Amino acid sequence: MSMSPTSEAAVLFLVTAAALQLSAAAVAAGLQQRIAKPGCNTTCGNVSVPYPFGFSPGCYWPGLNLTCETSHGGTPRLLLGDGTLRVTEIFIENATVRVMRAGSSAVINATGTELNSDGWNVSFGRGFAEYGYKLSYVNELVVFGCNVVARILADNGGKPPRSIGGCASFCTTIDLGDQYSIVESVGLKGEYCTGIDGCCRASLVVSGLPNEVQAKWLYSENHTAWQDVLQVNVLVAEEGWVYKYMRALETNNEPEEEVPIVIEWSVTQDLPQHSDEEPDSTCPDHVSRILCKSEHSQCSIEKPGYTCGCEEGYDGNPYLPGGCQG
């Protein structure tokens, strides 16, 4: 029995639709497989781990190894460095990692009696520079304290470190009462961290390899009761975190204990070192061949190392063969 033209068209449509669904599923599966090397785990807990990162031998580029910690019995945690930074997201397209700093989030945490008249200088761990991690400009410096100024310094290519962010925090109307934490004493009044009520914030002007954080009194010879009693806390956080933190305190909710930080990464180990005179753009051909394995990828200098990206119109992982898909 022959089919009518309408029936034939309907069958053809259904077959075509099914083929397209299968094709889309195959492409999606292929893209998922291409985020890491064959045989490598691609998740730790609820975090996706794309190459060049990894946590198993042979699954990462040297220097970009992470730790998938499972010994605590809960959801596996993806850790960077010495374990104080917990990775929550890894982005290939803009070469950034979002991490959460557990425990004491402050770079400087001291009472007024502990800070001498010369202030404090606290160095960052060398893990940042050693593995090509930089603080992203989407972070900000946050200072809690009375009559204190702080700034963050970054490496400057062999020259004296340069300031990439800083602000001053004053106390004008805070009533101490029984409060000994400046964070609990700040009144928002619709604003946050404006610098006049014990808190200030400043966006980082550029990304940089963090060198140290400096803090000192504005009036070292004339301490106030606030300076002697309330803590000075200086920390680095992703822009917007302090607003959520202060709002939680204002509404008597428990704020998050972990502080998010965005760091930029680049591939540095096992590659030829570029000079400071080289432009911050296209890589040398031999570096591009070593690092960027996908056919539709391109390499860029991102000091102190290199990064890869997919060409316009393509998406995926440029560090793997066939990783950039149209």
What residue spans of the chain are helical by DSSP H?
5-33, 127-130, 182-185, 225-229, 241-250, 285-291
Highest mean pLDDT among 30-34, 155-159, 161-165 belongs to 161-165
Helices and strands (DSSP H and E) totals, the chain: 6, 20
Is-above-0.85 flag for pTM? no
> What tokens appear for 47 in the block?
């975090």
Strands across the sheet containing 231-238 = 108-111, 231-238, 139-144, 199-203
Scanning the structure block, which residue is given the tokens 């259904």? 14
Residue pLDDT, tens place only, 273-321: 766 555 556 788 999 999 999 999 999 998 888 999 999 999 999 999 9
Residue 317: strand, helix, or coil: coil
CB atoms within 10 A of CB 197: 22
Percent of the chain with pLDDT over 90: 39
Scanning the structure block, which residue is given the tokens 């010369």? 118
Residue type, 171: C
Residue 217: strand, helix, or coil: strand
Residue 240 has pLDDT above 60, yes or no: yes
Highest mean pLDDT among 5-14, 47-56, 201-210 belongs to 47-56
Residue pLDDT, tens place only, 22-58: 444 444 444 444 799 999 999 999 999 999 999 999 9
